[in-house]
């Protein structure tokens, strides 16, 4: 294990913070801490970097406890949301500064800086100053500066949130490429679920200072461990139902009861698992009326009002929705749903 966090706890006077945090990260993994503002993800990241002192617990990097070490003595490096570049220094000097402090020979510094700039696709920018760079270029310099320190664990605190959507997408791709080339272990913090799903080897979903689920992106999406995870990751429909032996009943619909639940439940249904048809009566069909059809590029989102259960949204192909319109009656089928005890819905 490259990074082990054991029973980490940090509470602030406001009552916010984290407790009971246990994480194991292997060498070369890119793991994302995902959750809304105030869920504790940045507290965990800053504790790893030494910028916060936990109340209890331990942090081990490459098998050695670093809990007593200050940030500069830890084998970590952090890329912040704000680029934190020195405006009076050129790109070269910004990158070389940390290596000069380590008393590295000039020729080695030059070679290392050239290699880092090549890695972040900024070769030839050595003499420019931060003010002459775009936001994306400044973030690349900040990333290169951290890579030059050759950390055992690279920490990234929402590094792309200040960039526009297109640039954010490009930077995500480049970061993944750099991570695969270097084999670096990275811990990435974000509140952006798309960012987490596209970047990560594993995702740690956090809520109110505790971990809800640790799993690979596809598992988080397909098999959320709790209703909170289901509601936070991707778009989701929620319908009230009843769990019986062998099945979940939602009106006339019967779905598998894989978790052997009993009593009232909340069924979480992905929009892509909702099918719409012209037949509006029959077994395993819920009658509904189309409220809205929104074309979203290569697919459409259809909002349907169900007679008994309120609104449900379905993702359909452009071809399927060509003849659909508001007010049209349709039959709704559901191919897959995850059931959760109704108490979880109350808690959320």
Confidence of residue 24 (pLDDT cuts 50, 70, 90): very high
Q: To 5 degrees, how large is the angle CA 238–CA 244–CA 249?
A: 40
Tens digits of residue pLDDT in 121-143: 888 888 999 999 888 888 889 88
Q: How confident is the model at residue 347 (pLDDT cuts 50, 70, 90)?
A: low
pLDDT value, residue 251: 86
* 199-202, long-range: CB < 8 A, 24+ apart: 199/30, 199/32, 199/172, 199/175, 200/30, 200/31, 200/32, 201/29, 201/30, 201/31, 202/29, 202/31, 202/32
Q: What is the mean pLDDT of residues 34-49?
A: 92
245 pLDDT band (50/70/90 cuts)?
confident
The predicted pLDDT at position 161 comes to 82
- pLDDT for the residue numbered 8: 96
pLDDT tens for each residue of 248-300: 888 888 888 888 888 899 999 999 999 998 877 777 888 999 999 998 888 89
DSSP for 35-94? --TTSSHHHHHHHHHTSS--SEEEEEETTEE-TTS-GGGSSEEEE-SS----TTS-HHHH
| Ranges for all domains in the chain classified under CATH 2.40.50.140 | 238-347
- Which has more pLDDT, 240 or 342? 240
Distances (CA, A) of 152 to 55, 197, 270, 321: 24, 24, 39, 51
List the single range of 64-68, 161-165, 236-240, 306-310 with lowest mean pLDDT.
Answer: 161-165
**Residue 54: CB partners within 8 Å, gap ≥ 6?**
8, 9, 10, 47, 67
SS3 301: strand
pLDDT at 87 over 90: no
pLDDT at 348: 63
State the average pLDDT for the chain. 90
Can you name the CATH fold of 238-347?
Answer: OB fold (Dihydrolipoamide Acetyltransferase, E2P) (2.40.50)
In the chain, where does the domain assigned CATH 3.40.50.300 lie? 3-227
Residue 346 confidence (pLDDT): 65
**3-state helix, strand and coil shares in percent for the chain, rounded to the nearest 5:** 30, 35, 35
pLDDT of residue 163: 79
Q: What's the pLDDT at 11?
A: 92
What was the pLDDT predicted at 22? 97
pLDDT value, residue 209: 93
The pTM of this model reads 0.88
Predicted local distance difference test score (pLDDT) of residue 256:
87
For residue range 140-159, what is the model confidence (pLDDT) as tens digits? 898 889 888 889 999 999 88
Q: Hey, what CATH class is 3-227 in?
A: alpha beta
SS3 333: strand
């Amino acid at each position: 294990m490259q990074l082990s966090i054991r029973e980490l706890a940090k509470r602030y006077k406001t009552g916010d913070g984290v407790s009971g945090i246990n994480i194991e990260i292997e060498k070369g993994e890119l793991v994302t801490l995902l959750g809304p503002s105030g869920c504790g993800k940045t507290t965990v990241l800053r504790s790893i970097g030494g910028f916060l002192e936990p109340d209890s617990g331990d942090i081990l990097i490459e098998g050695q406890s670093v809990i007593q070490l200050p940030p500069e003595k830890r084998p970590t490096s952090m890329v912040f949301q704000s680029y934190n570049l020195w405006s009076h220094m050129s790109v070269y000097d910004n990158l070389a500064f940390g290596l000069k402090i380590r008393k590295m020979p000039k020729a080695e510094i030059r070679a290392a800086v050239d290699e880092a700039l090549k890695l972040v696709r900024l070769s030839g920018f050595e003499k420019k100053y931060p003010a002459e760079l775009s936001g994306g270029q400044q973030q690349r310099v900040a990333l290169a500066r951290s890579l030059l320190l050759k950390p055992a664990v690279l920490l990234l605190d929402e590094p792309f949130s200040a960039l526009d959507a297109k640039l954010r997408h490009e930077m995500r791709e480049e970061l993944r490429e750099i991570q695969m080339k270097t084999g670096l272990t990275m811990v990435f913090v974000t509140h952006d679920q798309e960012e987490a799903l596209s970047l990560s080897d594993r995702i740690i979903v956090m809520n109110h200072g505790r971990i809800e689920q640790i799993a690979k992106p596809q598992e988080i999406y397909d098999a959320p461990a709790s209703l909170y995870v289901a509601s936070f990751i991707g778009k989701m429909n929620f319908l009230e139902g009843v769990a019986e032996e062998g099945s979940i009943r939602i009106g006339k619909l019967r779905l598998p009861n894989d978790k052997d639940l009993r009593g009232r439940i909340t069924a979480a249904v992905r929009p892509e698992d909702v099918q719409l048809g012209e037949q509006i009566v029959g077994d395993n069909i819920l009658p509904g009326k189309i409220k809205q059809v929104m074309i979203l590029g290569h697919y459409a989102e259809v909002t349907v009002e169900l007679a008994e259960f309120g609104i449900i949204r379905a993702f359909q192909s452009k071809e399927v929705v060509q003849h659909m319109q508001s007010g049209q009656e349709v039959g709704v089928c559901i191919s897959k749903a995850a059931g959760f005890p109704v108490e979880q819905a109350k808690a959320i």
